[in-house]
Chains A and B, each alone.
Chain A
Amino acid sequence: MVTKFEGAINCMVDVFHKYSLEHGHPHAMNRKAFRKLIETECPELLTNPKDPKTVETLLKEVDSNKDDLMNFEEYLFMITRLMVDAHEASHK
């Protein structure tokens, strides 16, 4: 049985595939899949009063190879940023 922490790491892999597989490609998310991911898992990013974003701008921010998809590596970059934000928020 994995620990809670290990489970949270496995979950990061599962979350990506949950949305990517639904839209056809296991390791890259198109705009539709990305939208679903954000709206389901982290809608606050779109409604942050200080810095409201759209799905398009969020995807642009993470899509470093500019193919209009978020691949698994780009996803890891995004969750690293979300972790850092969550840590900062925990000190407020």
Chain B
Amino acid sequence: MTKSFTWLQVDPADWRGKIGQLRNDGFTFFDFLTGVDRENVEGKQMCEVVVHLAKEDLSDSHFLYTHVHNELASITDLMPAAQWHERECAEMFGIQFIGGSASGESTKSLLRHESLSLPPLRKTTVLAARVLTPWPGGAEPQIKEDGRKVGNASRRRQLPPGVPENWLKQ
């Protein structure tokens, strides 16, 4: 049972340094590394990368996160277990892990079909089906003289849950 969790935001430049330091402090258990598309961090299109490191007896653990555009230094030499996670993050979120096994010539897609050119978990990657399919929830019952409902002319436009607003403008 993990007894304590610490969340820590680090600068991308300190990513490797901080992780190396934690490893030396006994946080040798690499649990996972993943991305979270925060879409908008202080007005910029950013992706968060999170890593979870714990002490081997799970008595203490750290979640480190950082905001990047599309590049971050790889930690696979410090934490070999991060290889698969960085690769997944690279394919799904389009983040290049510099100096890692998921960058450079070995970047053959393992999870993503060649036909998919964009990273599917970034919100800038529009799911055409969600844009082209009319959303049945857009209709709003409204009263007209004849009692029939008409579109949703006057009310604020309803948006389908989970679909970024800017997709629909395109």
Are A and B physically bound partners?
A: no
Which residue numbers of B lie inside 8 Å of A, CB to CB? none
Which residue numbers of A lie inside 8 Å of B, CB to CB? none
